[in-house]
A and B are shown apart, each in its own frame.
Chain A
Amino acid sequence: MLKVESISKKFKEKLVIKEVTFEILEGEIFGFIGPNGAGKTTTIKIIMDFVKPDSGRVLIFGRPNTDISVRRKLGFLPERPYIYGSITGKEYLDFCADVFGVPYYERRKLFSRLLELVDLTGVEEQLISSYSKGMVQRLLFASTLINDPDLLILDEPMSGLDPVGRNIIASVMKDLKEKGKTVFYSSHIIQDVERLSDRVAVIVDGEIKLLDSVANIVQNFLKGYQVTARKVGSSNLEVFRAEPDELWPLLERLKTEGYEIISVEPERLSLEEILVSYIQRKRRAG
């Protein structure tokens, strides 16, 4: 669906993107995360052909990203998007419909469906200058769906939105996935990434440091274990904690001390905790 092959980019002799490679599969939600200045937006700009890479290539639907025909089935939302305040929401949607050749008789129904999706029904005739920042973002998000895209590329779609707005965007993304659409998005709100993404790539200092499914990442980063046990003959439950590599010695010890093991629960870090510690570790090492 989207293939990024060994792209590198220098700005004023500074290598900001280093051999970035990843592939996004059809029907998945792919989160692209990293700290500020890590290269998320530059990578997305290269994918969208706003910036040329010094080396490497990007394929969308198997064709080079420079081929504008790939954009017929692509939706894109930039970070902190803006559109002229002097036009109405409908006028902007009309522009998008004009570009994609949507017939006039289909527009009314299409626009109201899209606006309903992002909870903006009834505001399309108002000037965009009267919208809140979140409303503009939701309008522009809705406009990316006007061509029923197979691939959606979103740069920080949740930033600047209130929890309600974030939920709206998240639920639309989930709906799109259910319809077999592919979503590639960058975010620094890791809770959103954790609940939405099938796979994530972590970019730090222009390099992909980690690329895996959310489930695998969380699975591989264990904080330890919680062991619940009781003395044979006693009804009191006792809880013990073990580091990941200390589980077996603990179980042996409890057995010799006459304990009956009731349960062993792995203690997992949240994706956020994992990434923060991971990025800090990589930075210290690098």
Chain B
Amino acid sequence: MNAIPVAKLTFKELLKEKAFLGLLLFEVFLLFVSKLISNVVAGDTVKVAMDFALAFFFFTVALFSIFASVGSTFRDISDKVVYLILSKPLRRRDYVLGKFLGVAGAVALFTFFSFFVVTAGILTISSLSNLYVPHVIVVERVFLVSILTCMMGIFLSAFGLLFAVLFTSQILALLSVLFLFFAGLELSPVKELVTSSKYVSPINKVIVQLAYYLFPNFSLFDIKDYAVHLSLTVSPLYFLLVSVYFLIYTSAVLVVSTLLFERREL
């Protein structure tokens, strides 16, 4: 498979980037922030700390995915690395797929390390409190959260790649992916609000419903409540459906990115 050398090169490049280690260290700092917040907020301190720690985890993985995909692809194009790569017997689609696989690998590894950082942080926070928290169950649940967070990161990377190929301005591409991410996180509440309101016209409700199903829904990957509230359960079917959604949507985004890149003049 011709995409593999590009994927390996991208993976090695991203792994040695300062952002990789920098964001991991930032995550350690955010764990301390989570602990501090839990001390000043009313409620179960462990649950509050976990809630913040997992939210920070989700956003750090999202940030890494955006910067890795947009940054790396833009660097390739603006610094002419793409000329070195495409002068070899590689098709442009091999480049797009290889780039995506390399970024996806780096995101997976980043999530894997983050999982250890966050889990260690949560266990430390819970052991410092007087409340009883079953550690084994927490670790298992954080692991499941990590799997969906990793999927979210890879999904977001596909959009990062798409916008890096589509736009000629890196800032515009970064802002577009960030907008897409935050909009995609808020889809469910907006849909609930609109569909349940009697003041919204039926046409607008249909438009919002359509947007809900077409727009990338990043909130599907956010199951931190499940890890925090031990009474909640997530069915295996949910994981299966989210995985199918992830696979179909990511493949579609990659196909569009490839078509755009094949037409782009370098």
Residues of A within 8 A of B (CB): 45, 48, 50-52, 68-69, 71-72, 74-76, 78-84, 86-87, 91-92, 95-96, 98-100, 127, 140, 143, 153
Does B80 make an interface contact (CB < 8 A)?
A: yes
Question: How distant is B200 from chain A, measured CB to nearest CB, in Å?
Answer: 46
Within 8 A of A (CB), among B3-19: 4-6, 8-9, 12-13, 16-17
- Pair B84/A99 contact, Cβ less than 8 Å: no
Distance A81 CA – B266 CA, assembled complex (angstroms) = 14
- Pair A71/B88 contact, Cβ less than 8 Å: yes
Q: Which residue of A lies closest to B82 (CB)?
A: A50
Distance A137 CA – B8 CA, assembled complex (angstroms) = 22
Does B189 make an interface contact (CB < 8 A)?
A: no
Interface of A is mostly: mixed
The one of B12, B83, B91 in contact with A68, judged by C-beta atoms closer than 8 angstroms, is B91
- Pair A84/B87 contact, Cβ less than 8 Å: no
Question: How distant is A57 from chain B, measured CB to nearest CB, in Å?
Answer: 17
- Pair A87/B88 contact, Cβ less than 8 Å: no
Given contacts A51-B265, A52-B265, A84-B13, contact A99 B80 (CB under 8 A): no
- Pair B84/A91 contact, Cβ less than 8 Å: no
Within 8 A of A (CB), among B198-227: none
Given contacts A51-B266, A68-B89, A74-B87, contact A98 B13 (CB under 8 A): no
Does B25 make an interface contact (CB < 8 A)?
A: no
- Pair A98/B5 contact, Cβ less than 8 Å: yes
For B84, the chain A residues whose CB sits under 8 A away are: 76, 78, 81, 83, 140, 143
Distance A50 CA – B95 CA, assembled complex (angstroms) = 13
For A84, the chain B residues whose CB sits under 8 A away are: 9, 13, 75, 81
The one of B9, B13, B80, B265 in contact with A78, judged by C-beta atoms closer than 8 angstroms, is B80
Does B86 make an interface contact (CB < 8 A)?
A: yes
Does B175 make an interface contact (CB < 8 A)?
A: no
**Chain B 67-86 interface 0/1 with A at a Cβ cutoff of 8 Å (1 = within):** 00000000100011101101
Q: A81-B80, A86-B12, A99-B89 are in contact. List 8 more A-B contacts (CB 8 A).
A: A48-B83, A50-B86, A76-B87, A78-B80, A80-B80, A87-B16, A91-B9, A92-B9
- Pair B87/A48 contact, Cβ less than 8 Å: yes
- Pair A99/B265 contact, Cβ less than 8 Å: no
For A51, the chain B residues whose CB sits under 8 A away are: 265-266
Given contacts A45-B266, A50-B266, contact A100 B81 (CB under 8 A): no
Residues of B within 8 A of A (CB): 2, 4-6, 8-9, 12-13, 16-17, 75, 79-81, 83-84, 86-91, 265-266
Q: Which residue of B lies closest to A71 (CB)?
A: B89
- Pair B5/A69 contact, Cβ less than 8 Å: no
Distance A87 CA – B84 CA, assembled complex (angstroms) = 15
Q: Which of A48, A127, A153 has the most CB of B within 10 A?
A: A48
Distance A84 CA – B102 CA, assembled complex (angstroms) = 14
- Pair B80/A86 contact, Cβ less than 8 Å: no
- Pair B87/A95 contact, Cβ less than 8 Å: no
For B2, the chain A residues whose CB sits under 8 A away are: 99
Q: Which residue of A lies closest to B90 (CB)?
A: A99
Question: How distant is A110 from chain B, measured CB to nearest CB, in Å?
Answer: 16
Q: Can you give 11 contacting A-B residue pairs, CB < 8 Å?
A: A48-B86, A76-B83, A76-B87, A82-B81, A84-B9, A95-B9, A98-B5, A99-B2, A99-B5, A99-B89, A127-B16
Question: How distant is A247 from chain B, measured CB to nearest CB, in Å?
Answer: 50
Q: Which residue of A lies closest to B87 (CB)?
A: A76
- Pair B87/A87 contact, Cβ less than 8 Å: no
- Pair A91/B12 contact, Cβ less than 8 Å: yes
Distance A48 CA – B88 CA, assembled complex (angstroms) = 10
For A52, the chain B residues whose CB sits under 8 A away are: 265
For B91, the chain A residues whose CB sits under 8 A away are: 68
Q: Which residue of B lies closest to A95 (CB)?
A: B9
For A83, the chain B residues whose CB sits under 8 A away are: 81, 84
Question: How distant is A186 from chain B, measured CB to nearest CB, in Å?
Answer: 14
For A69, the chain B residues whose CB sits under 8 A away are: 89
Distance A91 CA – B6 CA, assembled complex (angstroms) = 12
Distance A68 CA – B86 CA, assembled complex (angstroms) = 9
For A87, the chain B residues whose CB sits under 8 A away are: 9, 12-13, 16
Given contacts A81-B80, A87-B13, A91-B12, contact A99 B86 (CB under 8 A): no
Distance A78 CA – B89 CA, assembled complex (angstroms) = 16
Q: Which residue of B lies closest to A44 (CB)?
A: B83
Given contacts A51-B266, A96-B88, A99-B5, contact A78 B17 (CB under 8 A): no
For A78, the chain B residues whose CB sits under 8 A away are: 80, 83-84, 87
Given contacts A68-B90, A140-B84, contact A82 B79 (CB under 8 A): yes
For A143, the chain B residues whose CB sits under 8 A away are: 84
For B90, the chain A residues whose CB sits under 8 A away are: 68, 71, 99
Distance A145 CA – B136 CA, assembled complex (angstroms) = 55
Given contacts A50-B265, A81-B80, A83-B81, contact A99 B17 (CB under 8 A): no
Question: How distant is B177 from chain A, measured CB to nearest CB, in Å?
Answer: 22
Distance A60 CA – B103 CA, assembled complex (angstroms) = 34
For A76, the chain B residues whose CB sits under 8 A away are: 83-84, 87
